Amino acid sequence: MHRRQKPGTPEHRRDLAAHRGALSMSHSDTRSFFNLSQLVLSAGQLKSPPVLKHSKITYFEVEILDVQSKKQICIVDKVPPSSTLLDVKHKFHKACPRWYPSRVGLQLERNGPYLKDSINIQSLAVSSIITLYFTDLGQQVGWTTFFLTEYTGPLLIYLLFYIRLSSIYDKVESTKNFRHPVVHLACFCHCLHYIRHLLETLFVHKFSGGHTPLKNMIKGCAFYWGFTSWIAYYINHPRYTPPSFGYRQVAFAALAFLMCEAGNHFINVALAHQNHSGGRACFPSPTYNPFTWLFLLVSCPNYTYEVGSWISFTVMTQTLPVGIFAFLMVIQMSLWAHKKHKLYLKRFYPEVRRKAAMIPVIF
């Protein structure tokens, strides 16, 4: 017969501890297996991930038609959605080499406006085929070339008249007659005006790389060069008569001219470095520089100073050709200022709504 062990005996304690240890080991094994199975299920099948297929890119076809005859000129195919209109013009140039991009004008409608080069081609698409109308804009020149050519001519032409070439004036009169000091002052002011324009074209003004037709440059050169020849001929003529009120008139007008030239320069610098607030361009505000205070009254003070320069030059020289040129400049500048003022009202309405365009109250 086996003896029954008491619960308190050492043998009974050892058996109970061994039994509990076996139970704890089986329980831990079960938990480990459960955790492992959960890990496998959450990880999915132990297979290599399938290779993802790239989605197909939808390309556009751009059909280019002649704006007059509506005949098809070419089709630019495989145009990515991220392309701009300038990219289309480059591909069009490859197909038709005689029309380089700056010469190409593209429209959505025959009588519609020309589309900008920066427009995304996807914004024009209604279907996979985009139809555009082509217009030959003629031979183009860059804006920097345009202004350099337009302003270099008057500078050189005036100096040719100032040295009184024998082919222009009578040689005997040129050597005998005394030159009034206003003649030298007028040459200095005229050259200063166009040198400022040339330097600002090179170092101040920011051009977006656009182009203009060559015929516009020819018109501008004919206007400025022709008037410069007429003005310089009268002022540098041996029989030129000085202003009626003498040196007072000349000194006052010369001072006003120099102030307008300085103001024009500082305004152009302010326009070239417009403030940006939160990625949005802000209308230039007056600074500590008193020449910029004109921004408080007008939206285009550069045109105001330009007109002031030519009016001052007219008073200083007191010649009819300068007066006619100044009058035409007032008309032209007022038209440009009115056009810019409308654009400013759309972009900077709160800042510009109480300002005049060029001359306070009048324009």
pLDDT at 33 over 90: no
pLDDT band at 79 (very low <50, low <70, confident <90, very high): very high
Task: Say what the pLDDT of residue 249 is.
Answer: 97
Please, what is the angle between helix 143-162 and helix 181-203, to 10°?
A: 160
Task: Say what the pLDDT of residue 44 is.
Answer: 47
Are 143 and 199 part of one and the same domain? yes
**Whole-structure pTM value:** 0.78
Are 273 and 238 part of one and the same domain? no
Contact criterion met (CB below 8 Å) for 64 and 73: yes
3-class state of residue 203 by DSSP: helix
Domain boundary among 138, 163, 194: 138
Rg for the chain, CA atoms, rounded: 40
Are 230 and 330 part of one and the same domain? no
Are 261 and 213 part of one and the same domain? no
Higher pLDDT, 174 or 181: 181
Residue 5 forms part of a structural domain: no
Are 154 and 129 part of one and the same domain? no
Burial label for 352, CB within 10 Å (0-12, 13-18, 19+), is buried
The pair phi, psi for residue 271, each rounded to 5°, is -70, -30
Contact criterion met (CB below 8 Å) for 297 and 356: yes
Residue 213 forms part of a structural domain: yes
Range of the domain at 314: 244-362
Are 249 and 284 part of one and the same domain? yes
Task: Say what the pLDDT of residue 38 is.
Answer: 52
Are 112 and 214 part of one and the same domain? no
pLDDT band at 126 (very low <50, low <70, confident <90, very high): confident
pLDDT at 349 over 90: no
The amino acid present at 170, given as its one-letter code, is D
In the chain, the largest separation of any two C-alpha atoms, in whole Å, equals 162
Q: Which residues contact 83 (CB under 8 A, 6 or more apart)?
A: 120, 121
Number of domains in the chain: 3
pLDDT at 49 over 60: no
Are 201 and 215 part of one and the same domain? yes
Higher pLDDT, 278 or 65: 65
Higher pLDDT, 255 or 20: 255
Domain boundary among 138, 153, 173: 138
Are 304 and 320 part of one and the same domain? yes
The pair phi, psi for residue 79, each rounded to 5°, is -95, 115
Contact criterion met (CB below 8 Å) for 150 and 219: no
Are 151 and 233 part of one and the same domain? yes
The amino acid present at 344, given as its one-letter code, is Y
pLDDT at 171 over 60: yes
Task: Say what the pLDDT of residue 20 is.
Answer: 52
Task: Give which of 125, 123, 118 is closest to 63, Cα–Cα.
Answer: 125
Residue 33 forms part of a structural domain: no
Average pLDDT value over all residues in the chain: 85
Are 123 and 143 part of one and the same domain? no
Are 349 and 250 part of one and the same domain? yes
Burial label for 215, CB within 10 Å (0-12, 13-18, 19+), is exposed
